[in-house]
Amino acid sequence: MASLTFDPVETSHRGKARKRTVTSRPGPVPRPVIAEIATTLAGLGLGVCLALAVTAESWKQLGATGGVLMFLGNLTGLAGTYLALIMVLLVSRVSVVERVLGQDKLLAFHRKLAPWPISLIVAHAILLTLAYAEVARAGVLHQIWAFIKSYPNMLTATIALVVMVAIAVTSIYSVRRRMRRERWWAIHLFMYLALALAFAHEIALGPSFVGHPLTRLVWSVVWASTAGVVLFYRFGQPLYRTLRHRLEVAEIHQEGPDTVSIICRGRNLDRLAVAGGQFFEWRFLTRGMWWQAHPFSLSARPRPPFLRLTVKGIGDYSSAVARLKPGTRVAIEGPYGSFTTHARRRPKVALIAGGVGVTAVRSLLEDLPRDCDPVVVLRASTAEELVLGPEVAELVRHRKGRVHELVGSRAEVRMDRLVELVPDLQERDVYVSGPESFVNRVVATLARLGVPEDSVHFEVYSL
Amino acid sequence: MRRVPAVMAGAVGFAGIVAMHAGSAPSILGANTPPVNSTPTTTVPAGSGPTTTTTPPPTGAARSATGTGENYGYGVLSVKVTVQGTRITDVSVASLQTAEQYSQSLAQQVIPTLKGEVLSAQSAHINGISGATYTSEAYAYSVQSALDKLGVK
């Protein structure tokens, strides 16, 4: 079989460069207002939860034995559970929101928010145990046992709490670092089970819910909707896309010493709406790899019936990728990512890619119009690691831009040189992609050089 | 993500729920004064039995009415009040549904004392029982609504 190429530009027999007609669908336009509505609703919901806890109280109840502890216990329970639902929604990959904010940023916020729901829920358990123990004039341990034995749904709620604490402990950076990623991930998924187990005790015992059918109904609807969102966007939509496109590995190309391109063949790829710069979560259905999904960018726009991704080798997974056999089926989730031409606000762009970050830049370039005068900076430690260089050069040449290759170790190459390479940096939209440390350094440099925050778009390659 | 609209929406949501609540339920945050006095004096005695009161012989026919079921957060309580003339002669529990066992046993403990308080006060304005505030309020409200139905006090 002749080797498949993803040449960006094809020349006609008269030697004039003619852009290949791309028959794939462009990515859907992100609508920032949807993300704003989502964050506003989230804030509204939190205010409502706090008010529910406060309005279930009276001064008399507060003054009674254990009253203040009980109030605080109810408040922390409501707020903590609400924030736990928000945590789930943040990583449920809702495409209309994800397209605007980007999965990497949603994940970063998820990690940042994490201490709050877990602390509030643990505080809730402690405060209510102390409160009930005070009212019943029992010891704490006796009260815990009384909860589990005689209160409806408290056994499942206690199990849920234990699971949540276990997940929280394993997610502490120093603990997580020592675990294998797959094991940590398997434990983390139990959060869905914990939340489901905890639901019943909220409805049965929460003072805002007992005897208040309307509040119970609203809370149940919120829960059911969250579950519905997760089922649709985490399971339903990816399953549909996988079955519709039936991707399988067609060819493997070696691009560099530890970088390979995988070309997949699939059906209905002309109907797959994806923007240049976006990525998928890839699951290769073969022994040893089927239970892991990893994010990789498309390194070119789809050429129906073919797709290409380019993977840099780090660890056993990536070496296994290089040994994939043609015909291996592939399950996908996506497309995800806000690192697209839609993020642009200005006509001119600069694209800065470190190492494997060039993959997103390469596909993004295909979506950029001819008059954007792109300046591309490719950064790599050694010359062999500059993959896809000729393709990038061709795309840039076609758009009358420039490419700069910065090769060398970190000590040799200073990113402060950016302003020399791109004198009008402040007037361009700047796209940065690559490993986390690289992106952080470049974004900090751009901030120092006075590039407005709105004009900087970045995508971090991390696990 | 810009945070200001989310914070403002939170404040709006909070205020909205508080406003909705203040308009409806009388006993919590509301302006209506509950019949239960604000200085509880009795504490929950361990295993208190029913109290008896000596009363002058009642006049007139015995009438009774059941007060509305008062939702006190941990259950729903309604009492049946029997009067002869204008004198309350008996208060009994018409229905009691509680959310969980603790509330059930607490209610069973304090209801005899509450009955005694109603009979000696001859009204729904009783002292609450410390440690059973919700139950006491519900009891008092239900007695009051039964008395209203009977047209007494």
- Inform me whether the pLDDT recorded for A119 exceeds 90: yes
Instruction: Provide the residue range defining the domain that includes B19.
Output: 1-32
- In this predicted structure, what is the pLDDT of residue A306? 93
Residues of B in contact with A207 (CB under 8 A): 73-74
pLDDT digits (tens, 9 = 90+) for A344-366: 988 899 999 998 899 999 999 99
CA distance A184 to A192: 15
Helical pair A181-205 and A67-90, crossing angle rounded to 10 deg: 130
Among A61, A137, A145, the residue to mutate for chain B (most B Cβ within 10 A) = A61
Query: Among A122-136, A372-386, A396-410, B128-142, whose mean pLDDT is lowest?
Result: B128-142
Whether residue B26 sits in one domain with residue B69: no
* Residue that finishes a domain, picked among A230, A257, A272: A230
- Size of the A and B interface in Cβ pairs below 8 Å: 111
Nearest to A43 among B9, B17, B130 (CB): B9
- Interface residue A45 vs chain B (CB under 8 A): yes
- The alpha-carbon gap from B150 to the nearest alpha carbon of chain A, in Å, equals 27
**Burial class (CB within 10 angstroms; exposed 0-12, middle 13-18, buried 19+) of A182:** exposed
Whether residue A139 sits in one domain with residue A39: yes
Residues of A in contact with B40 (CB under 8 A): 64
Whether residue A255 sits in one domain with residue A201: no
* Residue that finishes a domain, picked among A336, A358, A391: A336
Is residue A267 situated within a structural domain? yes
Q: Do A43 and B5 touch (CB under 8 A)?
A: yes
Q: Do A39 and B6 touch (CB under 8 A)?
A: yes
The CATH number of the domain holding residue A269 is 2.40.30.10
The residue ranking higher by pLDDT, B132 or A264, is A264
Nearest to B27 among A58, A135, A205 (CB): A58
Whether residue A290 sits in one domain with residue A197: no
CA distance B60 to A365: 97
Is residue A7 situated within a structural domain? no
Q: Do A40 and B5 touch (CB under 8 A)?
A: yes
How many domains does the structure of chain A reveal?
3
How many domains does the structure of chain B reveal?
2
Could you tell me if the ipTM is greater than 0.85? no
- Inform me whether the pLDDT recorded for A294 exceeds 60: yes
The CATH number of the domain holding residue A402 is 3.40.50.80
Question: Are the C-beta atoms of residues A456 and A430 closer than 8 Å to each other?
Answer: yes
Whether residue B145 sits in one domain with residue B125: yes
Whether residue B132 sits in one domain with residue B111: yes
- In this predicted structure, what is the pLDDT of residue A250? 94
Is residue A122 situated within a structural domain? yes
Instruction: Provide the residue range defining the domain that includes A323.
Output: 246-336
Whether residue A165 sits in one domain with residue A42: yes
Whether residue B99 sits in one domain with residue B144: yes
Residues 79-108 of B with CB under 8 A from A: 99-102
Q: Which residues of A183-203 are buried (b: 16+ CB within 10 A; e: fewer)?
A: ebeebeeebeebbebbbebbb
Nearest to B130 among A39, A40, A64 (CB): A64
- Interface residue A205 vs chain B (CB under 8 A): yes
Query: Among A73-82, A119-128, A153-162, B26-35, whose mean pLDDT is lowest?
Result: B26-35
Whether residue A221 sits in one domain with residue A119: yes
Whether residue A346 sits in one domain with residue A326: no
Token pair of A385 as six digits: 């690691």
Q: What are phi and psi of B68, to 5 degrees?
A: -65, 150
- Interface residue B28 vs chain A (CB under 8 A): yes
Whether residue A361 sits in one domain with residue A312: no
In DSSP terms, B64 is beta-bridged to B82
Residues of A in contact with B8 (CB under 8 A): 43
Closest alpha carbon within chain A to B76: A211
The CATH number of the domain holding residue B57 is 3.90.1010
CA distance A80 to B6: 17
Whether residue B144 sits in one domain with residue B131: yes
Nearest to B100 among A51, A109, A152 (CB): A152
Closest alpha carbon within chain A to B106: A136
User: Which of A168, A175, A159 shows the shortest CA–CA distance to A125?
Assistant: A159
Whether residue B27 sits in one domain with residue B39: no
Whether residue B143 sits in one domain with residue B85: yes
Whether residue A172 sits in one domain with residue A87: yes
Helix/strand/coil percentages in chain B, nearest 5: 40, 25, 35
Mean pLDDT computed over A278-291: 92
